[in-house]
Every structure is written in structure tokens, then in C-alpha cells.
Chains A and B, each alone.
Chain A
């Protein structure tokens, strides 16, 4: 007999998880909670559903375009969490005014959508994060602790080949600040560091040209001055006659004065194409610097020096790595990658990815420092903070085969025992001894028919 309905299929790129995998996950979670707990981290939980705004304020387009967002029945724009950090900070900023450090850990499902044609379009859209945040710690040695703990957790799971690749957003931002560029230009360059690292210099240059950062024409000072004068007089005219007369077109809900004010603000921040090009060249070189910590630090310093930027900018990164070594991380497990790009935009300092053996494998997790996130979330102070999270499914895959199979179940047949009462009593006895047991009930199906699955 067939049903009048179509079977309901599982959503694409979502997984059902069976007993064995769940047992593996539970075991890993217990181990990691133990490791973090010994270092003073307490557990915390936040809702799976949050206001969408929590995740779009500072996360950046790469994450906010992957949100599972929808209008909830109460009329609010909400999203399934794509990560924990923002919610943990919301929770902390709301509840404490402590000056000391707060160490929290968390685990649970996160959701990120990817289109089938995206690079990661075949990846699962729900996965489990287990992570930790240290809130209120400024010293580079805190960065070292977090990196060390990330590797320590893996070791506790029997993964000894874990290593980290460390980058530093702060170095890139500080270096770009030496080129007298607008915020807009700096942001553009930072957002494209991943492309530059991949050698897509021409593509980035083309984009920069389209946006007016790079101009083909040679702009001499006299011409630039003339341009400025011409534009200034246009603005003056517009202000005097009104936008309507000059352009005869609609400005929408924005007033001509608002437009002109913003335009003149923008013009005062116009970037010198020569400076921009120098910054771009520096970043192209810097993004290519990666490898073992000691040599990469030297190369990074050399790139900065030759671009006329103070090489001292790198000192924080050096201190971070040093403190990780003090924590017992051997230097051969620490690699640097100045071109490291992260899909999440709230990082401000050190950031790192965790790999098994070589950096080309799938990342097991990652994290970094995000000192400005509290302010971005609307609180009145910056709280220096950092943290990381594992992608638990990737970590468990790296453990390889484990023996977390559940004990066997003893099935008890009422027929064989003589009655249901005796079967129940026997099962109870077994359970009292810690043995798994269950009653074998008769199936509804006619025994002559094959079992329907």
C-alpha cells in the first residue's frame, strides 16, 4: 500500500546523526570541557535564535550573507546563530561590569548557508562548534594561552599533529595606516587581502580602478588643485541654487544638503593614487609572507621596512608567538601567514587557524582577538577579548577511528520468558546491574510479510 503523500526529504547539506557519531561527539565534548575547565573556563549557553542585527553589525559580508534569517512570529528579524562569539559578548556586556577576566566555554550547533555553486557549497550547513572566549585580557600572553589551549584540547583527544597558522589583522591595519589612506581605502585593501594572497593582483587592481582608488591619468598637483576647485564650485552652485535646479532630478528622502555634505566629506578623504598604489604593493608582498614563525617574522619585517613602514608593528605578533612557546607549544607547530583572510570582520589583532599536519587540509577551527566588538555591539567601552572555536565534526574526523560504540543491548522475549511480567522483571534485574536490556515486542506486521523499513 502506498501513501498518497511524497516522502519528506531531509534538507540539502544537513545531516542526521546516528548513535555512533553522537557517542563520539559526546565523548569529545566531555574531554574538551575537562581540558578547558582545568584552565578555569566555565560553561555558558546562549540562544540558538538571536536578533539578526547581532550578527550583521560587525561580522562582515562573508558571514552575514550566510545567515539563516527570517521573520519570527513576533515580527522580529531573527537568525540562527552562525557562531557564538557575538552572543557570548552580548551576554557578558549585559550582565557584568567586572574588571577581571571572564573565561567562558560553549558548545552547540551553528548554521551557515552556502549556495550549491559556492566554493564550500557541498559542506554541511549545520555543524557543531566548541569554543572558548577570554574576555578582559589585553596581554599578548593571553593570546599565547588561547593558542596553546587549542592545541592542548586536540592532544587530549589523541590528535598530536595539530598545528596553528597565525596571522595578524592589527599588523595589516597599522601598516596601512602609514600610507595616509582613507578608512574606505584601508577597508578595501583589508577586505581583498585573501585575493592578493591568491595572486589575484590584477583582479584587485581592476576593482580598485573601478572604485577610483587607482587612476590611469597622471595626476599632478596643479591638475588636482584645479579638479578640487571645479568640484568645489559645483558644490557651491548646487548649494546656492538647490539640487533641483542644477540636476532637475529627485534626491529621494535625502536632502541636497545631506548629499553635498557627505560628498565634501568624501572629497576631503580622497586618496592619492600614488599612496594607494604603494600600499597595495606593500600588501601584495606582505600577503605572500608565510611559513615557519622565525623566518616569516623576519620576512614580514623586511617587507614593512622596504615599504618605509616601521617594522616594530610586528612586535606584538612576536610576543604572541613567544608566549605560546612559554605555554609549551613547540615552535615547529607555529606558522605565520600574513595574508590570512578571515570571513569574519570583527577581529582586530592576532588570528589563527588550527590544522592537522599541513595547512592545506581542512581547518579544525580557529579564532583570534576582537578588542572592538563590544563597542560595535553598542556598549560604551572596548573590552579586550579573544577566543577560538573548534569545528567539532572536523576535529572528530581527525581523531580517526575510535571505540565509542555503545554496549550491546540484551533483548528479552516475553514468549521465551513465559509472560510479559517475567520478561519485564528480568530486564529490570539486568538494568540494575548496569546492563542495557529491552523487551522484544511483537511486530505488528504479518510475519509472512517482509519487514518494512
Chain B
């Protein structure tokens, strides 16, 4: 039994996104100063936060020196060891969206698709050289190229500034991470129409062995997943309240439920307004999808509703936490028997 070691990216877009997400979930990280690589979460005892380089997090979790962590899906697929014990806990935190793409020099007017690239690779081969590709995620890229019959390639390792490789002449094409494609365009590179290797965003991964065999760690991981899931769901909902006149709670409920699709996540909550006079006003409260808000407002108006207001909610919990249920299922193979 020990603390859950939670690895977070120490810098970059994933650091910003993670901090924001944890703040929204009341799981803010307390760090003595920005040079410290350990921290804690005051609202959740039993969790040690470790700030790690993004590229190391999967490896740390694979090796068991961290229990769960936030990484980019692309980096996870690239660097996980299949013999290792990582499992996916949450498959989309909603930030750090990026694509790993194949891009060619803009001046290669004749090359627009992967099929063209396969052709070019053969042409290069006929001339006795390989198509050189500068890339960061070699495993993902090599497989993608093979899948698309681009076979005669050599990988050129470049750390940072991939976009310059074709101009500098040490590669012919590149595979790089891009969010908007702007940097690629500005460097005279063009993404092939079907050249998307992987669409990525931030995810949570964990060490299956550690979570399956340490109930305390699992319980802490569960709390984190529950809050994230409820908070993400809450972003899609708003609570709408309004006062509607009627003979009884039941009668108001029937009126509201004439449009059942606007009756809220678990049906309307209805309570009498006590003004001291006989007036038959009831406050109706529904939790609805944000996209349904205009419809709900006009539905309330049609029922003579007044004082209609909408509020954001911080968490929306359902009967079960889906990501936790999935995790429990995924942990089964890791369970050590006889203990």
C-alpha cells in the first residue's frame, strides 16, 4: 500500500491543458516552486505528483516508477513497450489535439497522396537511393508508410526543427506533429491528403500491475477518473430553472414532460414557491444538454414560465463511472492470484 504516483508533463501544451483540467476538477496541484519536480494535490491525499518530460512518461509507467500519467496518445503508441504493463485509463481528455502527418515539399506538384509517394519511393529506388524521411515517431511512421506501400524509405533522426530538413537537404520529406499545419505551410511543406498517421490528444495511461494489485492506488485513480469524467460531462450540460404556474406538482410535471426530450437528464425537479399567498407557482429545474437550451427556454415560455435562468454545473455524475468500469475490466489480466 502506497501513494499513487501521478506523472504529469512538465511543460508545453500538455502541461497547460493538464493544469487547467485538474483545476476544473478541484484537483489543483500544489508545487513548492516551478523547479521542483514533485508536488501534491491538497484535495486528494495519497497522491504524489511527479512532473516528467512528456517523452519519458510512458516509459516510466511501463517500468513501474510511476502509476498513472497524462500523455499524448501518439507518444503513448510510439513509446510503449508491449511487454510492459500500460493500460489506457482515459482515451480523450479534450486537449493537446494534434496530428502526426506526412508532408512533402510544396514544389513536388505531382505528389498529393500516399499512392504518389509510393510511386516516388519506387522511382528513387530505381535510381539507387532511398526516400529519406525525417521524423520523430519512427514506429508509428514506419508502419503507416508500409501500410501505404511506401516501402523504400530510410528514417532520418532529427531532434526538433524537422520542418527545415528538406530545405537543409538531409531528408526528402518529413513526418511531423502539427495542430494547425501553419508551420508546415510556412516552411514550404504540404500535407498529403491521406497522409495523417494518427490523430492524437491527451490521454491517461496507467501501470496495470500496480493498479490491479494495490487497492489504495486503484481507489485514488478512481477518484481522479470520476472527477474528470463528471467534469467533462458537466461541460455539456446546463441547469435550467424557471417558475411555472399549475394546479399541482404533478400537473406541472405532466406539462413539462409533454416534451420528454426536454425533461432533463433525470426528469424535472419541481418544488412549490411559497410566497405566503395562494398563487400556484412552482419552480422547475432540469439538467439539459447545452445544445437543447434554446428549446428548453421556449418550452418553458410556452408553459407561461417566468424567471428562467441557466447555470453551468461543475460535475454531472451518472450511475456508473464509465472509464473506471472500463479500467476494472482492463485490469483483470494483471491481477496476481493468491494474494
Contact = CB atoms under 8 A, between A and B. Distances in A.
B56 interface: no
A60 B149 CA distance: 6
Contact of B193 (A9, A211, A259): A211
A252 B134 CA distance: 13
A212 interface: yes
Contacts of A256: 107
A259 B120 CA distance: 10
B336 interface: no
Contact of B83 (A12, A67, A243, A252): A12
B188 interface: yes
B319 interface: no
Contacts, number: 76
B26 interface: no
B83 A249 contact: no
B269 interface: no
Contacts of A207: 194
A263 B143 contact: no
A214 interface: no
Nearest to A209: B193
Interface in B84-128: 105-110, 112-113, 115-116, 119-120, 123
B148 A61 contact: yes
Interface residues of A, number: 32
Interface centre among B123, B129, B149, B169 (most CB of A within 10 A): B149
A61 B115 contact: no
A113 to B, nearest CB: 9
Contacts of A62: 147
B107 A243 contact: yes
A51 to B, nearest CB: 12
A64 B145 CA distance: 10
Interface centre among A56, A67, A249 (most CB of B within 10 A): A249
Contact of B151 (A64, A210, A253): A64
B147 A266 contact: no
A262 interface: yes
Given A61-B147, A252-B166, A262 B115 contact: no
A250 B147 contact: no
A266 B151 contact: no
Contacts of A262: 110, 119, 123
A421 interface: no
Contacts of A9: 83
A252 B149 contact: no
Interface string B141-180: 0011011110100000000000000110100110000000
Contacts of B109: 259-260, 263
A41 interface: no
A360 interface: no
Contacts of B105: 249-252
A8 B147 CA distance: 32
Interface centre among B120, B147, B173 (most CB of A within 10 A): B147
A211 B115 contact: yes
Contacts of B266: none
Nearest to B148: A61
A65 interface: yes
A252 B169 contact: yes
Interface centre among A64, A212, A250, A266 (most CB of B within 10 A): A250
B82 interface: yes
A61 B150 CA distance: 8
B201 to A, nearest CB: 16
A187 B115 contact: yes
Contacts of B113: 211
A343 B148 CA distance: 12
A381 to B, nearest CB: 20
Given A62-B147, A64-B146, A252-B169, A259 B110 contact: yes
Interface in A64-104: 64-65, 67
A263 B108 CA distance: 9
Nearest to A263: B110
A62 B147 CA distance: 6
A184 interface: yes
B266 to A, nearest CB: 35
A10 to B, nearest CB: 9
A250 B167 contact: yes
Interface in A42-72: 56, 60-62, 64-65, 67
Contact of A211 (B108, B119, B194): B194
Contacts of B173: 252
Contact of B146 (A61, A116, A210, A250): A61
A56 B147 CA distance: 10
Contacts of A61: 146-149
A249 B188 contact: yes
Nearest to A235: B109
Given A12-B83, A64-B151, A251 B115 contact: no
B108 A12 contact: no
A60 B167 CA distance: 31
14 contacts: A9-B83, A56-B146, A60-B149, A61-B147, A61-B148, A64-B151, A210-B193, A211-B112, A250-B107, A250-B166, A252-B172, A254-B120, A254-B172, A260-B109
Interface of B: 82-83, 105-110, 112-113, 115-116, 119-120, 123, 129, 143-144, 146-149, 151, 166-167, 169, 172-173, 188, 193-194
Given A249-B107, A251-B108, A259-B107, 4 more contacts: A11-B83, A56-B146, A64-B151, A65-B143
